Amino acid sequence: MFRYCSYANSDLFWGKGDLPRFTLRRTWIMIQLLGILLVEVVKANIDVLKIVLGPQIECRQGVVVYCPTLKHKWLRVMLANFITLTPGTMTLDVEGDCFNVHLLDMRSADSVVFVRASS
């Protein structure tokens, strides 16, 4: 059954040339990336906890446009998912090579180039 479903929806999956081969070096880089992601998620959880449990809600929400330079489609998908996994952020839309990202607190947008709107 799974084989039929994957064949019927093969246009939803990546082709053979889209994903790089797994090597020992790439596996090590992926482990390091997941470690960095874990640290950033913990830090973001602490920041959101401070906002929620604080006596006054002092957050400046907004939407920023972030345009990374990524070569492959799967890297853009992975980055958009990592952004959404981080508490206080959410990827709203992907327009070409740019992400529209909602931030709970705009103070964390210090390295973002262009701010589209803030409320």
Residue 32 reports pLDDT greater than 90:
yes
* 53 in any annotated domain: yes
* 109 in any annotated domain: yes
Contact of 111 with 65, CB cutoff 8 Å: no
Residue 96 reports pLDDT greater than 90:
no
| CA dist 33 → 53, 58, 98, 105 (Å) | 30, 31, 21, 24
Domain carrying residue 80:
19-118
* 44 in any annotated domain: yes
Whether the model pTM is above 0.95:
no
Confidence bin at 16 (pLDDT 50/70/90):
low
Confidence bin at 119 (pLDDT 50/70/90):
very low
Number of domains in the chain: 1
Q: Is pLDDT larger for residue 67 or for residue 109?
A: 67
pLDDT score recorded for residue 39 = 92
Mean pLDDT score across all residues of the chain: 77
* 114 in any annotated domain: yes
* 70 in any annotated domain: yes
* 80 in any annotated domain: yes
Confidence bin at 51 (pLDDT 50/70/90):
confident
* 1 in any annotated domain: no
* 2 in any annotated domain: no
Residue 51: both structure tokens together: 């906002």
pLDDT score recorded for residue 5 = 45
Q: Is residue 96 left, alpha or beta, with left meaning phi > 0 and alpha meaning psi from -120 to 50?
A: left
